[in-house]
Amino acid sequence: MNMQTKPPRTAAEQALLDSYAEMVGQLPGDARVTVARDRLLSAIAEKGLPTKRIESWHYTDLRAVLRAVPVKAGGSARAAEPLVRDALVCPVVQGQALMPRVPEGVELSPFMELLVSGEAAPLLSSRGADDLVGELNGAFVSDGYRLAIEAGRELDEILELQSVQAGGQAHTRFLAEIGAGAKATVVERHLGETSNAGLSSSVSTLDLGEGAEVTWILVQGAGEADQHLGQTIARLAAGATLKLFVINAGGKLVRREVHVDVAGEGAHFDLRCVNLLAGDSHTDVTMTLGHMVPETTSSEIVRNVVLDRARGVFQGQIRVAQVAQKTDAKMSCNTLLLSDEGEFAAKPELEIFADDVVCGHGATVIDINADHLFYLMARGVSEKTARALLVNGFVDELIDELEDEALVEPLRSLIEQWLVDHG
């Protein structure tokens, strides 16, 4: 069989390699970290950016769509007000962590310290051949936070890990260790301040101890020219509960990966994801979820609103290991495709090796229901308002589930604002 010849490097591929050469001298880390970085970069150089021939990148041909971005920022970024009033902001501005004070029971340190001490070296690894996000971030990461919440601590205060950027490149990492029985709500926000084209990558690793309960709200509000490659990796010990709430409302090219191992009996994982897509953006949410042990549950609901020429992707893969009897996993992905020029592709996968399980997934793609529209318009509501109401109702259902008013209000107004801006 003829071997496929390796295609020539694209401008973006070359630019990535060049920017590594440019930055490597200033990137923090001891010798071990540098070795790890070099190894990850050679992996990227060797494989090139993933194309649609790589199954997990089927709908995001990164090689074709990623654009070169200079290392240096185009403007000056500043930390934003917290999403939830009175939340404690832990900002990372243009890839540099600025240490705030932290409440009792919480340890916070800049990720840079782990790089400098070399402790972070084992973390700078690849999850597999298709892990471009992890490799890119591992090679370039400059800072972020390590956050540890002590066992049994119930945090009243909401923490906000905030990464702000004004063009250029920023590569951050958050490491969260939630002790057994601890309870916390964390907001992770990625913001792009200007319309300068920026490239950012971020990897968040969440380690939940036994019985820990975490609500993690991830708001991606990159600028409309920004490219954001993000990864959330979570591991749940027995009896732990993670509610991951993702809102994508920005960015030109966004890849959000969520990789979860439900690794302890009785653990539960929830994903709620709202994708608000407009303009010429391309947004890809890719989840892999492993039920590794018996008696675990999960539920995922993804709602997408597609306007203009936007393209959206949801790939969700649920794996049930042979020992994971009594798994209960449900996944659904619903899309409101409101534009004839927009696109949405869904690939909900089930991979099941245990027989005593209840697993299901559903996916729909529809336009606004004409009957619902008529109902509202017959009551004197203008078409525009009626449509806005219906779209709002479509995503609001997920927000409602959060119950905590302090969270519901700001998220609701974020969505309403987006609909006003793009309606």
Partner 1 sequence: MPAVQETIDQVRQIDVDQYKYGFETVIESDTAPKGLTEDTIRLISAKKNEPDWMLEWRLDAFQRWLQMEEPSWARVDYPKIDFQDIHYYSAPKSTVGPKSLDEVDPELLRVYEKLGIPLREQEILAGVQTSKIAVDAVFDSVSVVTTFKKELAQAGVIFMSISEAMREHPDLVRKYLGTVVPVTDNYYATLNAAVFTDGSFVYVPKGVRCPMELSTYFRINEKNTGQFERTLIIAEEGAYVSYLEGCTAPQRDENQLHAAVVELIAMDDAEIKYSTVQNWYPGDKDGKGGIYNFVTKRGDCRGDRSKISWTQVETGSAITWKYPSCILRGDDSRGEFYSIAVSNGYQQIDSGTKMIHLGKNTSSRIISKGISAGHSSNTYRGQVSAHRKATNARNFTQCDSLLIGNDCGAHTVPYIEAKNSTAQFEHEATTSKISEDQLFYCLARGIPEEEAIALIVNGFVKEVIQELPMEFAVEAQKLIGISLEGSVG
Shortest Cβ 136–partner 1 spacing (Å): 24
In the 3-class helix/strand/coil scheme, how is the chain assigned residue by residue? CCCCCCCCCCHHHHHHHHHHHHHCCCCCCCHHHHHHHHHHHHHHHHHCCCCCCCHHHCCCCHHHHCCCCCCCCCCCCCCCCCCCCCCEEEEEECCEECCCCCCCCEEEEEHHHHHHHCCCHHHCCCCCCCCHHHHHHHHHCCEEEEEEECCCCECCCCEEEEEEECCEEEEEEEEEEECCCCEEEEEEEEEECCCCCEEEEEEEEEEECCCCEEEEEEEEECCCCCEEEEEEEEEECCCCEEEEEEEECCCCEEEEEEEEEECCCCCEEEEEEEEEECCCCEEEEEEEEEECCCCCEEEEEEEEEECCCCEEEEEEEEEECCCCCCCEEEEEEEEEECCCCCEEEEEEEEEECCCCCEEEEEEEEECCCHHHHHHHHCCCCCHHHHHHHHHHHHHHHHHHCCCCHHHHHHHHHHHHHHHHHHC
288 sits near partner 1 (criterion: CB under 8 A): no
Would you give the binding string for partner 1 spanning residues 296-325, x where CB under 8 A is met?
--------------------------x--x
422 sits near partner 1 (criterion: CB under 8 A): no
Q: Which residue in 9, 58, 183, 372 binds partner 1 (CB under 8 A)?
A: 58
Shortest Cβ 332–partner 1 spacing (Å): 9
Q: Which residue in 45, 68, 345, 373 binds partner 1 (CB under 8 A)?
A: 345
357 sits near partner 1 (criterion: CB under 8 A): yes
364 sits near partner 1 (criterion: CB under 8 A): yes
370 sits near partner 1 (criterion: CB under 8 A): no
Q: Which is nearer to partner 1, 68 or 365 (CB)?
A: 365
Q: Which residue in 17, 79, 116, 359 binds partner 1 (CB under 8 A)?
A: 359
Q: Which residue in 352, 376, 377, 408 binds partner 1 (CB under 8 A)?
A: 352
Would you give the binding string for partner 1 spanning residues 323-342, x where CB under 8 A is met?
--x---------x-xxxxxx
Q: Which stretch binds partner 1 (CB under 8 A): 116-124, 188-196, 262-270, 356-364?
A: 356-364
230 sits near partner 1 (criterion: CB under 8 A): no
Would you tell me which residues interact with partner 1 (CB under 8 A)?
1-2, 4, 55, 58, 322, 325, 335, 337-367
